[in-house]
Homo-oligomer: A and B are copies of this chain.
Amino acid sequence: MSSALTLGLDADDTLWENQARFDFAQEKLRNLLSRWADGEVVDETLLDIERNNVKRYGYGVKSFTLSSIQAAIELTQGEVNADLTRSIIENGWWIIEHPVEILSGVVETLDVLSKSYELLLITKGDPTDQYKKISSSGLSHYFKGIEVVREKDSKTYEEVLQRHKVNVEEFIMVGNSVPSDILPVLTIGGRAIHVPHHSTWKHEHIDESEIKDFIFSVAASFDQLPDILMTY
């Protein structure tokens, strides 16, 4: 174990539940639209609209809400009314107001890790929502730096490391998303540990062939990190 190492930690679905909030809200959307379309059709329509809106809106709750309203317009063939629209807006508020649920083992493990490593929180998403979650999580004090970034690509990681004066050879990223937390870090010469989450955002499913040339550790759970890092 070397104290010169810096760990980057993803937040959503690595430190706390995130996808579950959206899944639950999407389940509510399916119910709201059940008169007009099957659940799977609602899911597919919403996903198409969200993908189309990412450039326009970025990620997060506001995008989800606006895309949900568009899905309702499309799927009800114009029958969407004020009550339904209001319910969709309130569904977004539900996500925003939902308390942060820290994943099992995270607090104890951060307690251990923060004694041996510099920790950076590196998270993507709507900043209003992200900072609210970081603040109410009570975990901020474990981190030397907090970065809410727009895209988790190689360029962004290079900028973050430069800002914090961290050499990429001494950087290990930890997160649940292979395309966001693992591959871009490996690409620039860093290391990464994958901590899969039980649910994964559909936009992030990737082809096995894309990862076959990369080597990274996989932790079955967050609390295995100290042991895995002993071998680095």
Contacts and interface: CB of A to CB of B under 8 A. Distances in A.
Interface of A: 56-58, 62-63, 65-66, 69-70, 73, 76, 78-83, 85-86, 89, 92-93, 96, 126-128, 131, 150, 163
Contacts of A82: 73, 76, 78-80
A180 B150 CA distance: 23
Contacts of A62: 57, 62-63, 66
A85 to B, nearest CB: 6
19 contacts: A56-B96, A57-B62, A57-B128, A58-B127, A62-B66, A66-B66, A66-B92, A69-B69, A69-B85, A69-B89, A70-B89, A73-B85, A78-B82, A78-B83, A80-B81, A80-B82, A80-B85, A85-B85, A127-B127
